[in-house]
Amino acid sequence: MNLRVMEKEDLPLFAEWANKPEVFGEYNPLHQMSRIEAEKMFESPLELKPFIIEKKDGSKIGFVSHFHVLHVAGKLLEIGYSLVPSERGKGYCTEAVRIMIDYLFLSRDTMRIQACTDTRNLASQKVLEKAGFKKEGTMRKYLFIRGELRDAFLYSILREEWKEPKVLTRTS
Ligand SMILES: CC(C)(COP(=O)(O)OP(=O)(O)OC[C@H]1O[C@@H](n2cnc3c(N)ncnc32)[C@H](O)[C@@H]1OP(=O)(O)O)[C@@H](O)C(=O)NCCC(=O)NCCS
């Protein structure tokens, strides 16, 4: 698979994914995104562009996003990800997250990357653990999902735990 930054031509598909509850799955908040909002997100220099996960045949199957988390010390990044249902369970997300972690630690002066997931979302927890994240604890009633506040696990990987690129090399 290939992970590459989102281009303008990906916007219609991205907006389609954003509006399909099955792509974000049962453990993500429901939301809808208009074409205009998708375009604004894409054009804004403040928004970090998602990365598209592509299979070797060029088909687009999901994305990994990253964003800044407000913190007094700054330099805190969080990631999120989703795959179309037909491509799950084949290892694509784990590989994409590994590449994203390499990219972020190589390109950003951040000491930790975090992710949070509904405590029921076992597939997501597996992805994070396989990619080297550690579970830090439970954030109680952190996510509003399908009309209910749900507990979430907070995961992180520290730069010293990552140590060196696992997929990307420093010269490629
Ligand atoms: C979470 C998600 C991105 C995982 O993507 P994926 O490509 O299927 O992940 P991978 O194939 O790399 O790994 C999934 C692992 O979880 C396991 N898994 C999947 N469903 C599971 C379940 N219900 N219970 C336990 N383990 C499960 C798989 O067996 C696999 O582990 P393995 O490699 O040891 O066999 C995908 O399920 C998805 O898009 N879900 C909806 C959106 C979402 O929840 N995003 C995350 C929000 S925090």
| pLDDT per residue as tens digits for the range 148-165 | 999 999 999 999 999 889
Could you tell me if 157 and 111 are in contact, meaning their C-beta atoms sit under 8 angstroms apart?
no
Residue nearest to atom 28 of ligand 1 (CA): 89
pLDDT at residue 47, as a whole number = 84
Nearest to 107 by CA among 162, 40, 52: 162
pLDDT at residue 100, as a whole number = 97
- Is residue 105 packed enough to be buried (19+ CB in 10 Å), middle (13-18) or exposed (0-12)? buried
- Over pLDDT 90: what percentage of the chain? 84
Does the beta carbon of 117 lie inside 6 Å of ligand 1?
yes
Residue 74 has pLDDT above 80, yes or no: no
The ligand 1 atom nearest the CA atom of 82: 39
Residue 15 has pLDDT above 90, yes or no: yes
Q: How far apart are CA 96 and CA 118, in angstroms?
A: 20
Ligand 1: residue of 54, 64, 78, 83 to mutate (most ligand atoms within 8 A of CB) is 83
Does the beta carbon of 153 lie inside 6 Å of ligand 1?
no
Ligand 1: residue of 66, 127, 145, 154 to mutate (most ligand atoms within 8 A of CB) is 127
Measured in whole angstroms, how far is the alpha carbon of residue 96 from the centre of its chain?
9
Coil, helix or strand at residue 63: strand
- Look up the pTM and report it: 0.95
